[in-house]
Structure 1
Amino acid sequence: MTLLICPTYMESSWQDVLNVTTYHLASNKELGLRWFSQLRSNKERVQFCFNYQIFRNKLSFWLNVICGSQHKKHWEKASELRVEGNRCFHDKDFGKAVECYTQSILSAPFPRPNDAGEHHEELALGFANRSAALFHLHMYKECLKDIERAFQQGYPQELSYKLYQRKGMCLHYLNDYSYAKRAFSEALHILKEGRLDTKKMEIQKKEIQNLLKLCETPRHSMPKVQPYDCDDKQTLPDISYGRNSNFPSASSAVDVQCNKEKGRHVVANRMLSAGDTIFVETPYASVLLPNFYTTNCHHCYDKLVTAVPCHQCSQVRYCSEHCCKESWVKYHKWECGNLDLLHSVGIAHLAFRIILVTGMPCLSEFLKNKDRTDDQEMYLDTERQHCIRNYLRVYHLVTHSREMYVEDNFQYALTAALLLLLLKKVRFFCSDDNHTCSDGCSDISFESTPFNKEESSGNNSQDPSNNSDFIQNLLINSHDKTSLVAATGGLCLRHIQQLVCNASAITQLQTFQAENETVLMEKQVRVATAFYPSSSLMNHSCDPNIITSFHKDKLIVRVVKKVSPGGEVYNCYGPHFRRMSREDRQKALIEQYFFVCKCEACEGNGEWENKFQALRCNSCEGPLRPLNDISRTSCIDCDREQDCAIQQQKLFAAHDLFIQGLQLAEKKFFKDALEKLQKCHKIREKLLYKHHKQLAEVRDKIAWCYSSLGEFWLAVGFLRPTLVTTSEQFGAHSIEIANELQKFSDLLLNAIPQLLQEGHNSKESFIRNVFRESHEVISRAVEIFSIHYGSHHVAVKELKEKEKQLEGLS
């Protein structure tokens, strides 16, 4: 429930504005939340926010404060950043130089009239300089792309010989000798038109001629360097059993069914096996999180190697010109220059994006006909049939608006009202080709945005703070353009409500180096939020039979356990029975999704989850039940009662030892840390159940310390039992056990050379067992990663490389 707080502080965020406004509404008897709660349609809820001056002032003020031109392009800034890049290049810090040149490229105006003026070459120079840094990083394919971009943006003709020479060298490294010869020949031709003095021209000419000769004898040419940007891209998997003609993005092996108890849900119509791909879905709409603007493409979310800029703002980055143009056409032409405001509303940005990608022509057609019930036939004669049918899949997702707290619904409505004003500001409603513009707007072309559109001071419709006519029009209940605008506000609110239950996080696997500098760690990081209408129809289970992964913005759903014909396909909405207690799961699901989960994991006795935090039975060594108020309990296995007060005291001491050991290890005092951690381990091993989380935790830290000291075989001995615990807790085919196996394989590959060098090769059976264990660990990890992410996943490729290393050691 939203916390109502007194407005005694500065409203520094949109959430502050919402909290203060909600406080005023709840405190005002004339307005009151009671009035708002009686409204039954989303259109009325949004109109309510325009009915009162206090709300209108808040909306207009926030629109004025946040929307600005701080991300406008400036050639002066681009030039400064390019000079900084030159300094880094001179210092041979090529990675930093690439980033400086990228920032220069983002800041440089495009060479069109009234943009760059006399400094029209700035963008081309940025691309050319970045290509030089990329060349020194052996990123030849990316270097070639930047060379072409420099030419396209008007790189000076008299300097072009440099780029052709660099192009030829890249092609030579990539073994494309015929095209390399063409590039060198072009460089020689252009050199004649250069402004070099005679001496420098002869030196440059000789250098290019020598490079040209190398193309005649490629076997004895430049040393071959493995390109940094080698082709390791994942590919999209095929949908198992073919595509479903009646269920977009789904396999023909699944269908949608509907009943009163479960609503719409997904069922198998044949036997599904682990590894089957049942969804490959492109999001209807999605947004990149601001924290990843510098590392991921703004449109497809692929990790950036080099960036392509927006034509108008310096805020976003793209992986290619294709993504840049597609983004502009679909949504960025309205968002350009307004992203700070959209960031301020959080996840509601995605609701705004849904409106944009749907488009006003489609929305207006939909709104005029949405009360009809024959959804399958109503649009058959219109050219927008496909667009509207796609939108219907989003529109019909549940909102749970009646179950939401009235305070939350009001805050969502106020946010929708703000977004409606932004839609008016960017002239979105003028994009409906069935209507003339009612607010003085004109269509925005690819070259035109709020940044370079000159607005007349006499035209009040362009001023976000002067919305009186616009707001009054929203309150008119007619069938003209203004009614459609008001209804769009209701749709925006509907999508905000839907996001609470239907939005999906797009994640990417990030690899980072552990402090011991030996073991690589991996974790899934959320980079974007998206709407996937088809896969959203899967119901929840705390023990799901599918797993999701992503290829850029594409959602991939794979089966992880068998599903019989007629069996339901279950997703997990977050609360997983292996990661959360039943009580916490139920609380989370009720608060966000408004239902009580009755899956098998929730209907069970609940004792399974206790054993990972259970004490050890003195009699049978099984797990004990949770302690009562006087520190007594009984064993889950043998049911024997016992007093555990003394064990608790010893475990407190063990915890202190663990913290001390961890602090020493973080300071890299690994030998001292081992002394503390091994004492802790001795106590915990005696008192805790064998699969207790804290026992696995201390073993993992001991393995870390031994690994940091180069004692890999000792580290193997302590990490091995944690695999059993991880498997018990998360499942034998879970991604958690796959990650642990990958870490364990790193230790084994480091331990084997040591064992061979230390004379263990005299014990052939021992060495054979180590090699066999290593093969089994890698094979098992490959199998699990393949089921979860497919055989082309980077983790699978890394494990197969380890297999080759293992064969080399044998």
Structure 2
Amino acid sequence: MNNISLPEDCAKQWEILLLLLSAEEKKIDRTSDNEVDTMNYFYKNEGVRKILLQWLHQMQMSYAKKMSESDTALKCDEVSLLWRQRGNDKFRADCYQESYRCYSKSVLYAHQNKAMYPLALANRSASLLKMKKFKDCLADVALALDSGYPKELRHKLLLRRADCHIELNQCKEARVAIAAATDHAATLNLSSVHAAEFERHIKKLEEKLDVTRDVQAEEAVVLPECHHGLNPDFTAASNAIQLRRNDTVGRHVVTREATRRGDVLFSEEPYAWVALPAQRPVCEACCRIDINTVPCGGCSRSVYCGVECRTRAVGFHRWECVGAQAELFKTIGIAHLALRVLLITANEGFPPVPRTEPAPSTASELFRSYSRVDNIHIYKSGTHPFYRMFNLVTNFEKMNNTDYIQYALTATMLTLYLEKYTTFFEYLPSRVPYGLPDGQLQLLAAAIILRSLGQLVCNGHAALSLATVEEEDDSNGCTVSEREVRRATAIYPSAAMMNHSCDPNIINTFYNSRLIIRCSRELPAGSEVLNCYGPHRAREPTAHRRAQLRAQYMFSCTCTACIDTERRDFVLLFTAYACQSCKGPVVWSGRRAHCQQCNAEFHLERALAAIEHADELLAQAERCTSVEQRCERTQAAFKLKQQVWHRHHVSLRAAADTLARLYADTGEFSKSVELIKHNIQSLEYQFGSFSVEVAHELRKLSEVMLERIVRSPQNPDYRDWCLEAHKIMKKAVQLMELNYGSWEPLVKRLKEQESLTAALLADIRTPDAAQGVHHDLHYNLKI
């Protein structure tokens, strides 16, 4: 290893170090060693320890410091002031969204026991008020006041609090805030100018308050309950399903009775989870997104949705804070979640083993005792969750030696991190029910991390959320797009009991960190409940799916989709050319091809020439100065691609989508509607009528239909348009709720549009009454 040149950036050295060390350290007897035996070897290996400790030291020296004038891993009031001044400039320019982002940075970097922190919070609250985010504004005002906001300025924050309560129709709270502001101002020696200004502000608020009426508080989110209630023998699962075990497929889930599409089969909080690096902040305690961030008090790398969540996170973040400062967890990927499993377990306390005689006296004995439990019985309600976590499969016995050694090296590094950079091992003895000799606690911790790594690779679950984004080239456009984004990686021990199918019969949805699993179709009693571990029949050919599953999950898939010879290559249809004679699908595999329907020879050269010409037209369209010209050339390119690609080709759908957006931009909504409808038919054929892909396209269709209604109320087809739009919106709401849950903001917005359209239909014969509905409809369209 002395002759190897490593990258200067120590974060980039990690994968290379793993490869080099695993190449030299192959002294693991996989036939008899358990995780404790493995970690006993690596943890006590002086050469390995020296290299890993040196790397940890380099990471801390490289990242746990001020990185630039605008970024630091630690707290720095100079950096905080820089961002506050930038925020002030943006605020004065009426750029409130930009000022909010700057002030959030100022909050992030400020020392929380010094003056800069409450000032940053107060400034951010001003931006939030302008952005009409009144609840977040109230939270910042409260935190600024609690954090020592200057006495001579407090009356301004109290007035801001009153303003928010008025906007939220909370009259009682607004009066209390106005009284508090008045009382506080009376204790100050305000100048005549400032006193007059204060009185004007009070009068303005009181005038607003006089015309404000109390309204009921917004209803809390009500999560769907498990079908037929919770199963006492299967934690977090429905009474309609049960956990079984046999020698062929191991533990698996079957229905006890017939279930319908949409029935909830699981509603489970994770044993542990970690947020993934992303532009959109995620609360590291509850997994909420789009949050008004409250940072950790020690580092500027971890954020929360409020003080309560920050307090809850202390149980694990106190041991992770130094690592977060050193960018350790971004570097090691899923190993961060393996560490979190250990920290969560320690915070909750390791449970005693079922058999107490004799009491375990070493880490190895304790490990063996935990693995002796009945792995069906541990799913009964009331049993300690650690048993379910500990007894998930690892697949270590099927894993190649290099991967296993790299996991062991990672576990060693994380144990050394806890030992050298935290006081975790001073705390751990109080969390283990047995007194273990010196050194055994470190082996226990290392073995838990190693075991968790194996479990997470084959049982981990991505937590997704729906992000609504505007297209970069659609600044004047009529539609928005949504995409699923991974916000966290989590482990759900009950849901992990489902076996895989490339054609699953369930849908995963998320509310914060909670996983809610529904039936995607009707299931008769005795059916196995099947999840998809990643490779889906509608997205990848059989051979690719099987290869991925063997590589990560160590099994050869024999699900219905994989053994159905007639539909084995179904997905290839969506990248097929169109036969130049009959328009049937032609799959090009690098050899001369013939149409399977009419046996005509396919001429690839003609097809490629047509696509090249179409791409030239699209390039011309991009250079056009008017939307109409862009639309004309894009339409010509689309017609060429229709001649070359099969009607279900995924790229033809993308081309149709682009053209549909341009049609909407030019006001040709009916043309846009027809293209989107064709895409929906194609998506239904590929993914199914109740799929998330169809749900997104229906949402898009409803938006264009609504804009058509708003723009053309005198059209003779107006009533038919309204009827069709209402029908489409009802279907879009149904599918979005099925695939994402009623709590998603997009679903709520679709429901509002559905209600407004229903009102429009009700008032269709009274144009004067309908005008108000038209105004509300146009206001609510995010297009």
Matched, 1:776 2:727: yes
Q: Tell me the SS of whatever aligns to 1:579.
A: coil
What does residue range 439-458 of structure 1 map to in structure 2 within 5 Å?
Answer: none
Aligned to 1:459: none
Which residue pairs with 1:456 in the alignment? Answer: none
The equivalent residue for 1:659 is 615
Q: Aligned with 1:255: secondary structure?
A: strand
Rounded to whole Å, the distance in 1 between the matches of 2:110 and 2:388 is: 41
CA distance in 2, matches of 1:739, 1:6: 54
Answer yes or no: is 1:45 the counterpart of 2:38.
Answer: yes
Long gaps (5+) in structure 1: 112-119, 437-477
Q: Calculate the aligned-residue CA RMSD, in Å.
A: 3.4
1:634 to 2:596 alignment: yes
Whole-Å separation in 1 of the counterparts to 2:602 and 2:548? 32
Give runs of aligned pairs for residues 351-366 of structure 1, distance below 5 A: 351-359=338-346, 362-363=349-350, 365=352
Matches within 5 A, 1:27-46: 33=26, 40-46=33-39
- Give the alignment partner of residue 747 of structure 2, picking from 777, 786, 796: 796
* 1:565 equivalent among 525, 535, 540: 525
- Which residue does 1:295 correspond to in 2? 281
Say whether the 8 Å CA contact 2:611–2:640 is kept in structure 1: no
Partner of 2:538: 578
Deviations 1:215-265 (A, max 9, x none): 7x712x7xx9999xx959754222221011121111111111011111111
* 1:533 corresponds to: 493
Q: 5 Å matches for 1:456-605?
A: 480-514=437-471, 515-516=473-474, 517-605=477-565
Gaps of 5+ in 2: 66-72, 354-362, 765-783
**1:163-184 C-alpha deviation (Å, 9 max, x unpaired):** 2222222223333333323322
Spell out the pairing of 1:66-85 with structure 2 (5 A cutoff): 66-67=59-60, 69-70=64-65, 71-85=73-87
**Counterpart code for 1:184:** I
Aligned counterpart for 1:275 among listed residues 259, 262, 270: 262
CA contact (8 A) 1:159 1:194 kept: no
* Contact 1:506-1:550 within 8 A present in 2 as well: yes
Farther-moved stretch of structure 1 (484-493 vs 744-753): 744-753
Q: 1:316: Cα distance to partner? A: 1.6
Residue of structure 1 equivalent to 2:13: 16
> Which position in structure 2 is the counterpart of 1:160?
154
CA deviation string 1:129-171 (max 9, x = no partner) = 2222222222222222222212212223333222222222222
Q: Distance in 2 between matches of 1:412 and 1:124?
A: 44
CA contact (8 A) 1:187 1:208 kept: no
Out of 230-239 and 82-91, give the one that drifted further.
Answer: 230-239
Structure 1, 247-256 or 129-138: larger mean CA deviation:
129-138
- C-alpha distance in 1 between matches for 2:522 and 2:285: 35
**1:590 positional shift:** 0.8
Q: Are the structure 2 counterparts of residues 696 and 21 from structure 1 closer, same or farther at C-alpha, using a change threshold of 3 Å?
A: closer
Task: Please give the alpha-carbon distance, in whole angstroms, between the structure 2 residues aligned to 1:361 and 1:678.
Answer: 62
How far, CA to CA, are the matches of 2:201 and 2:643 in structure 1?
75
Aligned-partner residue type, residue 100 of structure 1: C
CA distance in 2, matches of 1:188, 1:20: 64
How many angstroms does 1:201 deviate by? 4.9
Letter in 2 for 1:590: R
1:263 equivalent in structure 2? 250
TM-score normalised according to structure 1 size: 0.83
Q: Which residue of 1 aligns with 2:770?
A: none
State how far apart, in whole Å, the 1-side matches of 2:190 and 2:637 are.
Answer: 74
Shift of 1:549: 1.2
Shift of 1:596: 1.0
* Residue type at the aligned position of 2:424: F
Contact between 2:263 and 2:519, CA under 8 Å: does it hold in 1? yes
Kindly indicate whether residue 637 of structure 2 is the aligned counterpart of residue 644 of structure 1.
Answer: no
How far apart are 1:741 and its partner, in Å? 1.2
**1:474 aligns to what?**
none
Following TM superposition, by how much is the alpha carbon of 1:679 offset from its aligned partner in structure 2, in angstroms?
4.0
Q: Distance in 1 between matches of 2:195 and 2:631?
A: 67
Residue 406 of structure 1: CA displacement? 1.4
Tell whether the 8 Å contact from 1:658 to 1:698 is kept in structure 2 after alignment. Answer: no
Q: Which aligned pairs between 1:11-160 and structure 2 lie closer than 5 A?
A: 12-13=9-10, 16-23=13-20, 26=23, 33=26, 40-67=33-60, 69-70=64-65, 71-111=73-113, 120-160=114-154
Letter in 2 for 1:501: C
1:188 paired to 2:182: yes
Amino acid aligned to 1:337: V
Which residue identity is paired with 1:737? V
Question: What secondary structure, in the 3-state scheme, does the structure 2 residue paired with 1:266 have?
Answer: strand
Shift of 1:712: 1.9
Q: Deviations over 1:36-90 (max 9, x none)?
A: 6677222233333345444222201111112354232233433443333333333
Report which stretch shifted further, 4-13 or 550-559. 4-13
Choose from 375, 383, 386 the match for 1:391: 386
Shift of 1:575: 0.6
Q: Distance in 2 between matches of 1:72 and 1:121?
A: 17
AA partner of residue 281 (structure 2): T
Distance (Å, rounded) in 1 between the aligned partners of 2:148 and 2:515? 39
CA displacement at 1:745 relative to structure 2? 1.6
Say whether 1:740 aligns with 2:697: yes
C-alpha displacement of 1:801: 2.7
Task: Tell me the equivalent position of 1:441.
Answer: none
Deviation at residue 615 of structure 1 after TM alignment = 4.3
> Which range is displaced more, 710-719 or 532-541?
710-719
SS of the residue 2:397 aligns to? coil
Secondary structure of 2:289 counterpart: coil
Q: Aligned pair 1:335/2:332, yes or no?
A: no
Matches for 1:607-622 after TM superposition, within 5 Å: 607-616=569-578, 622=584
**Quick one: which amino acid aligns to residue 87 of structure 2?**
G
For residues 214 and 662 of structure 2, the distance between their equivalents in structure 1, rounded to whole angstroms, comes to 36
Q: Separation in 2 of the partners of 1:130 and 1:753?
A: 37
Pick from 312, 330, 333 the counterpart of residue 298 of structure 2: 312
What SS class does the counterpart of residue 250 from structure 1 fall into?
strand
Aligned-pair CA distance for 1:625: 5.9
Paired amino acid for 1:303:
I
User: Deviation string for 1:416-436 (max 9, x for gaps)?
Assistant: 100011121212122135499
Cα deviation 1:293-326 (Å, max 9, x = unaligned): x622122121244222222222221111110000
* CA drift at 1:355: 0.2
Summarize the Cα distance change of 1:6–1:697 in structure 2 as closer, same or farther, 3 Å threshold.
farther
- Asked if structure 1 preserves the Cα contact closer than 8 Å seen for 2:163 and 2:205, the reply is no
Give the drift of 1:386: 9.5
Could you say what secondary structure the match of 1:505 adopts? Answer: strand
Q: Distance in 1 between matches of 2:51 and 2:223?
A: 46
Q: Is the 8 A contact 1:782 1:799 kept in 2?
A: yes
Percentage of identical aligned residues:
30
Output the CA distance in 2 between the equivalents of 1:570 and 1:300: 27
Which of the numbers 640, 646, 669 marks the counterpart of 1:712? 669
Number of matched pairs: 730
1:346 aligns with 2:333: yes
Cα offset, 1:500, TM superposition: 1.1
Matched, 1:170 2:164: yes
